[in-house]
Amino acid sequence: MKHLYIVRHAKAEGQPPEAKLTALGEEQARSLADFFEGRKIDALYSSPFLRARKTIEPLAEKRGVPIIEDARLGERILSGTDLDDWMMHLEKSFEDYEYLLEGGESNRTAYERASAFLEEILESDDDYVAVVSHGNLTTLLLRYFDDRFGYHELMKLSNPDVFHVSFEEGEPSVERIWSE
């Protein structure tokens, strides 16, 4: 049976791809490695963004499992410019998956790349896979298995956060297993 652990990165200094984890985020990353104690991990996948990779590095080092970076796990870019009312635009993008701002990516396009990644993972020989991404993309990864995930669920995510996706009789079951 396949088990996926979908992880949102720990607390970071900002949104750019090179944003580092905060001191608290570094502590959270170490706690995350302890959190996975007793859980089997065959493969670790990460967004290429620094904050995602640094979130999973302590677990990778502890287990001796390499981190495989995949650009499809990178955060969705809402807009190519800074927006004062970005939260309104983010919510609108969950109401209309085709909603696209200049220089940004629609939720539809991000969902399609997330889906392509997940389909490969589900076909792989690895049964226990951890995937580290970002808030918006984590929500879309989870939505692949449960269409109730949307804007309101995104707003409830913590940094970090962990969801377990398992398959009973071929049907996916999504459960939040992280608690702060």
Q: Are 169 and 160 in contact (CB under 8 A)?
A: no
Q: Are 48 and 75 in contact (CB under 8 A)?
A: no
Judge whether 81 lies within some domain: yes
Judge whether 38 lies within some domain: yes
Judge whether 166 lies within some domain: yes
Give the per-residue pLDDT at 85: 95
**Confidence grade of residue 122 (pLDDT, cut at 50, 70, 90):** very high
Inform me whether the pLDDT recorded for 111 exceeds 80. Answer: yes
Q: Helix (H) and strand (E) counts for the chain? A: 6, 6
What would the two tokens of residue 179 be? 């608690």
Domain assignment of residue 126, given as a range: 3-171
Determine what percent of the chain is predicted with pLDDT higher than 90. 93
Judge whether 177 lies within some domain: no
Judge whether 52 lies within some domain: yes
Judge whether 178 lies within some domain: no
Judge whether 105 lies within some domain: yes
* Structural domain count of the chain: 1
Q: What is the mean pLDDT of residues 20-49?
A: 97
Contacts of 116 (CB under 8 A, 6+ apart): 72
Report the distance separating Cα 131 and Cα 54, nearest Å.
13
Q: What is the mean pLDDT of residues 16-38?
A: 95
Judge whether 176 lies within some domain: no
Q: What is the mean pLDDT of residues 48-74?
A: 97
State the chain's mean pLDDT as an integer.
96
**Confidence grade of residue 16 (pLDDT, cut at 50, 70, 90):** confident
- Where residue 174 falls (left for φ over 0; alpha for ψ -120 to 50; beta otherwise) is beta
**Confidence grade of residue 178 (pLDDT, cut at 50, 70, 90):** very high
Give the per-residue pLDDT at 28: 97
Residue located via tokens 């209309």: 96
Inform me whether the pLDDT recorded for 180 exceeds 80. Answer: no
Q: For residue 82, what is the domain's CATH number?
A: 3.40.50.1240
